[in-house]
Amino acid sequence: MSYSHSGTQPDPSRVSVSKSDSTSSTHEQTTFNTPMIEALIQAAESRGYRIRWHRGGPKAAWVPAQNAITVQIGMDDVTTLCSLAHELGHAHYGDPPGHHGAHEIRADRFAARLLINPTEYATAEAIYGPHPAAIAAELGVTVNILKSWQQLYTALMVKSS
């Protein structure tokens, strides 16, 4: 598994987290049914980002002054995974704290490219048709991350035409 910090856009050939990765949990605060969360935590920590856990408040946050991502305890695995990937996008780009429209879109797109495999998406879309909730559930992502991926790849397809 690797996570590349170079460039302005994550390159799927250099940014990957395999769903088959299996790691042991070093985080006593919570346990996960999704090995991909542990793999993403390891990727973040290998880049020098600290992962912290909190109760209540936002789902997750990038805290640049501490080089840390803080994630809410008790969310379902899909929400935890997507929130962590989104905040890792903020970290990757060195975003300032707070919510800035362009940074939020970019972080969602980062998470989408990190978590959604185009082949798996095509298979899910062939099975479920134009039903974002069903496709997102099949892929193990939130509808928001799925829609970000769809927008990103629609824009790329238009550019390549």
Q: What is the pLDDT along the chain (161 residues), one digit of tens a residue?
A: 333 333 333 333 333 333 333 323 334 445 677 899 999 999 999 999 999 999 999 999 999 999 999 999 999 999 999 999 999 999 999 999 988 999 999 999 999 999 999 999 999 999 999 999 999 999 999 999 999 999 998 877 777 76
pLDDT at 31: 64
| Cβ atoms within 10 Å of 66's Cβ, excluding its own | 11
Q: How many domains does the chain have?
A: 1
Say if residues 25 and 39 touch (Cβ distance below 8 Å): no
Hey, which bits of the chain come out as E strands?
50-54, 60-63, 68-72
Residues 6+ apart with CB under 8 A from 127: 138
pLDDT at 158: 75
Residue 106 lies in a domain: yes
Residue 25 lies in a domain: no
pLDDT at 155: 77
Domain of residue 124: give its range. Answer: 35-160
Say if residues 23 and 42 touch (Cβ distance below 8 Å): yes
What's the CATH number where 121 sits? 3.30.2010
Residue 17 lies in a domain: no
